[in-house]
Amino acid sequence: LPSLDVKDFHTVDDGVTEYLSSAIETRSDWDFLIGHMLGVDHIGHTFDIHSKEMLEKLKQMNDVIRDTAEKLAAKAANGEEYRRSLLLVMGDHGQTASGEHGGDTEEEVSTVMMACNLNPEH
């Protein structure tokens, strides 16, 4: 995947989304899955955090997170295998309004983490 091409906003994200979906729906040979999306970062560098492209990408990321959580929750409700699943969603860094990162400003070092317990009994 052309992950270092900052003008490519979708190839990596689409590939990661497809892999996660397939792994959850059809496989059970994993204990830990990581999906590292790059589109938000690339759009931040190319446009800015308030651009139309960023809003569209963030909507796509929301959809991916919701779909992943729903698939894991459905699997957890239907069998012991997924009952102890925990979905973690986090950013690896923040960004300035102009899309920069790597510095030590509050914008660049602040990020978010979400944890979702998918056990239907909790």
Evaluate if residue 3 carries a pLDDT over 70: no
Give residues with Cβ within 8 angstroms of 97, minimum separation 6: 48, 49, 50, 107
Confidence of residue 122 (pLDDT cuts 50, 70, 90): low
Mean pLDDT of the chain: 88
Encoding tokens for residue 32? 């830990």
